[in-house]
Amino acid sequence: MRTKVAIIGSGPAGLLLGRLLECAGIETVILERRSQEYVLGRIRAGVLEQGTVELLDRAGVGEKLHAEGLVHEGVEFCFDGDRHRFNFQELIGRTVTVYGQTEVTRDLMRARDRSGLTTIYEAENVSLHDFDGDAPKVRYVKDGVEHQLACDFIAGCDGYHGVSRASVPGDALRTFERVYPFGWLGILVDKPPVADELIYAHHERGFALCSMRSPTRSRYYVQVPSSDRVEEWSDQRFWDELRRRVDEEAADDLMTGPSIEKSIAPLRSFVAEPLRFGRLFLAGDAAHIVPPTGAKGLNLAASDVAALAEALIEFYAERSSAGIDGYSARVLSRIWKAERFSWWMTSILHTFPDTDPFGRRIQRAEFDYLRTSAAAARSMAENYTGLPF
Ligand code: FAD
Ligand code: DHB
């Protein structure tokens, strides 16, 4: 089999890259280790930056997103029970849209199916070859049979644990990492959200987030130590803990019910450099991880593949390698700014095992500064709604 761009991974990065290239008439094949149902069963991110929404529109997959997504003009921070709203619309004239990653993935899969493009699910033992030359290949096993896919380029969109980054010789790659000593325990519940907008709460007992997927489905998170197991958290224990960490009004208004999903996500900051190795590119979680505070993970995957698609389109249209040569530096500049913002939001909103009384006063001062300075609030709003692609 032969294609122009072999894409490894059918998460949002791989599927959106495939769609953007399809719009420019560039053929792709996607190889995915899991089944389609498994990929759609993962509950992950929920907030789309305005630039991501615009990109999905340009890719012709924005219809359901506009019909069902919830446009939010602001978010709230709650610090030890004091709540403050950041009005993005007023501060910088931008908004975010609440629309689950599962839905984005489903919309992109449907569009790809409709176009009759090839996605090979349950592709086992995917391996990358000869990407340092002009004729890269990807090998994989499907139903016990080994196959080879010849291509012009390989896009590694296979997440943090994928094979693409692992295929790069160790001495060609520099990595930067920070692992946090806590995770987010998240639950999904078929009850209306506690408030119209998201509430990011800081409390001595730890961070909490009140989010949503629709007017009738809520998503809540509490910070838990990395050593906690999901089995240790009954629904009742979760609700009790969440109530303690938010303000009184939210605690009173909270509508609880049986969880329909419950999982713990670890928190990590990670960046690999560079992101191009001959004819192999890394994009999305294969290239970087942000802690979820600030909802940047999915949005960064989108901005990476927007730049990669542009570079590849330029290559095929003009036979110019300027775009692909510049890909890594271009996206890393935006990636590091999102890393900075996610790290900052994580640092002010969480309780760290080594946070001393001085550290807590600094966290409080950050909150008071944000609450009272229009310049600080604008900076927060600009980053939360997304820096330019
Ligand atoms: P992925 O979505 O990880 O997709 C990669 C795909 O590659 C997967 O389908 C995987 O099965 C496939 N793959 C892996 N290895 C191979 C292989 N060897 N061969 C073929 N295919 C392979 N972000 C937020 O902003 N908010 C959140 O609340 C949030 N929660 C998260 C919870 C969890 C548990 C995780 C893991 C991430 C979360 N994120 C969150 C981050 C966000 O979901 C990711 O940034 C986003 O999924 C990145 O998209 P991607 O396409 O790069 O990677
Ligand atoms: C959600 C996740 C986030 O990381 C975030 O910052 C906001 C919302 C969510 O899953 O709804």
Which pLDDT belongs to residue 158? 98
Report the length, in residues, of the chain.
389
Q: Is the CB of 271 under 6 A from ligand 2?
A: no
How many CB atoms neighbour CB 358 within 10 A? 8
374 CA to centre of ligand 1 in angstroms: 35
How far is the CA of 272 from the CAs of 116, 206, 288, 290, 335, in angstroms? 34, 30, 6, 12, 10
> Is 296 labeled as catalytic in the residue annotation?
yes
> Is 192 labeled as catalytic in the residue annotation?
no
Exposure of 30 in the CB half-sphere (CA atoms within 13 A): 29
359 CA to centre of ligand 1 in angstroms: 33
pLDDT confidence band for 212 (50 / 70 / 90) = very high
pTM for the whole structure:
0.97
Q: Which of 70, 99, 219, 300 to mutate to test the pocket of ligand 2 (most atoms within 8 A of CB)?
A: 219
Which pLDDT belongs to residue 333? 98
Residue 183 in tokens:
């995770």
Nearest of 245, 232, 206 to residue 355 by alpha carbon: 206
Q: Is the CB of 250 under 6 A from ligand 1?
A: no
Q: Is the CB of 49 under 6 A from ligand 1?
A: no
Report pLDDT digits (tens) over 244-256: 999 999 999 999 9
Q: In the chain, what is the greatest distance between 2 CA atoms, to the nearest angstrom?
A: 63
Which pLDDT belongs to residue 262? 97
pLDDT confidence band for 43 (50 / 70 / 90) = confident
> Is 384 labeled as catalytic in the residue annotation?
yes
pLDDT more than 90, % of the chain:
99
Report pLDDT digits (tens) over 191-200: 999 999 999 9
Choice among 202, 288, 296, 350 that is catalytic: 296
Which pLDDT belongs to residue 139? 98
Q: Is the CB of 47 under 6 A from ligand 2?
A: yes
Report pLDDT digits (tens) over 277-329: 999 999 999 999 999 999 999 999 999 999 999 999 999 999 999 999 999 99
> Is pLDDT above 90 for 263?
yes
The amino acid that residue 43 corresponds to is I
| Mean pLDDT taken over the chain | 97
285 CA to centre of ligand 1 in angstroms: 6
Average pLDDT over residues 215-230: 97
> Is 215 labeled as catalytic in the residue annotation?
no
The amino acid that residue 140 corresponds to is Y
Cross-strand pairs, 30: 7, 119
Report pLDDT digits (tens) over 171-188: 999 999 999 999 999 999
Identify which ligand lies nearest to the alpha carbon of 345: 2
pLDDT confidence band for 52 (50 / 70 / 90) = very high
Q: Which of 20, 30, 44, 126 to mutate to test the pocket of ligand 1 (most atoms within 8 A of CB)?
A: 44
